Amino acid sequence: MSFFSTLYNSLYNFKWLRDQRNNSRWAWGYFFLLIFLVAGLSTISLGYKSVEEVPKIKQALYSELPEFQAELKNGQLQVNNLAQPYIKSYDKLAIVVDTVTTGTVDIKSYVRQDGQSVVLIAKDIVTVYDTQDKSIKVQSLKEFGDLKFDRAGVLKIVDTMFGTKMFLIAMIVILALMFIFLVASNLLNVLFFSLLFYTITKRLKSDWKFKEIFTVGLFTVTLPMILVQIGTNMYLNWMSVLVFAGWMYLVVIKKDVKIDKV
């Protein structure tokens, strides 16, 4: 049985789905292939967007990062050739470097617009203000050890991070994480609805076994998964749950339902 034939029938053919109740071996194979396909397409889409954005980010860093020399020694940061406080403000983030002020600095005073978080790099600490939960986190610079860096060094790191090798590694990691997440989340959905409909069939004294319902669920997850991948709209997420429940009902409970192909 081919993958794409199974994919096509899983979308609408309730009789075909019902007939797969004992085809558990192919159900598992199809399920993992489907997850891999969806994870792969999502990763490619994300990678394509990244390829478009990376040159813009690099250009912004090259044009906006000023000349400076910095040395972190014994937990104390010294920055030369940089007018301080140095403030770089974006829509959602403000970056502040101030290693010369000796008094207490109110990090919230650097917020220039609503919804903007702040990262403040001082002489001996890094302070982060999260505008979402209004929290302030402080990190001692002693934990970073002794360092020396300048504009050229930072740009060299940027080139490495945004290079082809790192890009491919990042895509592989994202693909793996997405695959694991999709497997876990969809298996939980299949398990939940399989238990639900098995309970119903027991009350109806139907001849369905739990393994058979679970096997059908591995095929039925196709359309709900596609709906979720269309977008992050909450309406589509709820729709996918309703579709999955509806398809399982039409396959397991309501027999002899047939939808003709358009």
pLDDT at 216: 94
pLDDT at 219: 95
DSSP state of 253: I
Instruction: Tell whether the torsion through CA atoms of 12, 14, 16 and 20 is positive or negative.
Output: positive
DSSP-assigned beta bridge partners for residue 73: 76
Residue by residue, pLDDT tens for the chain (262 residues) are 689 999 999 998 999 999 999 999 999 999 999 999 999 998 998 888 888 888 887 888 888 888 888 988 888 898 888 888 888 887 788 888 888 887 777 788 888 777 888 988 888 888 898 888 888 888 888 888 888 888 888 888 888 888 888 889 999 999 999 999 999 999 999 999 999 999 999 888 888 999 999 999 999 999 988 888 876 666 667 888 888 889 999 988 876 444 444 3
Q: Are strands 117-121 and 76-80 parallel, antiparallel or unpaired?
A: unpaired
DSSP state of 95: E
Q: Name residue 52's amino acid.
A: E
Residue 153 near residue 72, CB atoms below 8 Å? no
Pairwise CA distance, residues 36 & 27, whole Å: 14
Residue 144 near residue 73, CB atoms below 8 Å? no
Q: Are strands 117-121 and 125-130 parallel, antiparallel or unpaired?
A: antiparallel
Pairwise CA distance, residues 128 & 79, whole Å: 19
- Closest to 151 in 3D by CA, of 225, 86, 217: 86
pLDDT at 89: 81
pLDDT at 227: 85
